[in-house]
Structure 1
Amino acid sequence: MRGDDRDDPFGDIFDEIERMMNEMTGANSNAMSDGSGFASETHVDIYEDDEEVRLVADLPGVEKDAIELKCDGKTLTISATSPHREYDERVRLPARVDEHSASATFNNGILEVTVDKVGDSAAIDVE
């Protein structure tokens, strides 16, 4: 116990919440799949605006040539290998996208993928 939180009546509750969150997200030592020090999940941030969806993923130790990306308009699949582990992530996109508009960059272990959103479905007039 740290000296600054010894009088905190909620300390035990927060410790238990943190333990449960680590258990659910696999952030404990049992989540390491191969003992390499890498967690079992890839960290992916998703940003969305009116026109596009942008994903930023951490792929430490991966070479550019070892990355394979696939998109079906609803899901982006990131597959990559490094000497320490294999990455195989399927990310559900927050909006339908035009998979043919995708562009990707990779620099210093950071993958960035940008995809244009598809417009709303067209209304069909019944005659």
Structure 2
Amino acid sequence: MYELLSLLPLLLICVFYALFIKLAARLYRGSRLSWKHAFAFGALVMLLGGAGAWLNQASGLPLGPLMGVVLSLALQLALGGWFLGPRALSENGKAVAFKGGALISAIAFGMVFALGVLAAILLPLLGNGGPA
């Protein structure tokens, strides 16, 4: 039972990422994307990110943080173009194609990155009771 509960954070990450993907699709020219495809893309990104982190550590020559972010963004854009391009529909009902899928993925990546930066700034302030 406890093993299943330990998977809850991973599931929540996929759920929140699916929310970001749905929001990014809506922000990109009012595109539509089903929840099923948003969750599938979130799971694919989590699997790819986990595999990349494992390979980074297993190689013995870990990438620097900046190179890791750049490589992660490039892979996510490629995955977004491939997976979301034919599945996200524009306002007129046509697929947004590779470029549109990559842009939806880029918007979601930017939102997650901005949330991470915001959390890095605000959480220390909340933990200490504010600046001294």
Higher relative contact order (CA closer than 8 Å, sequence separation 6+): 2
Report the TM-score, using the length of structure 1 for normalisation.
Answer: 0.30
Q: Larger C-alpha radius of gyration, 1 or 2?
A: 1
Task: Determine which structure has the larger strand proportion and give its number.
Answer: 1
Report the TM-score, using the length of structure 2 for normalisation.
Answer: 0.29
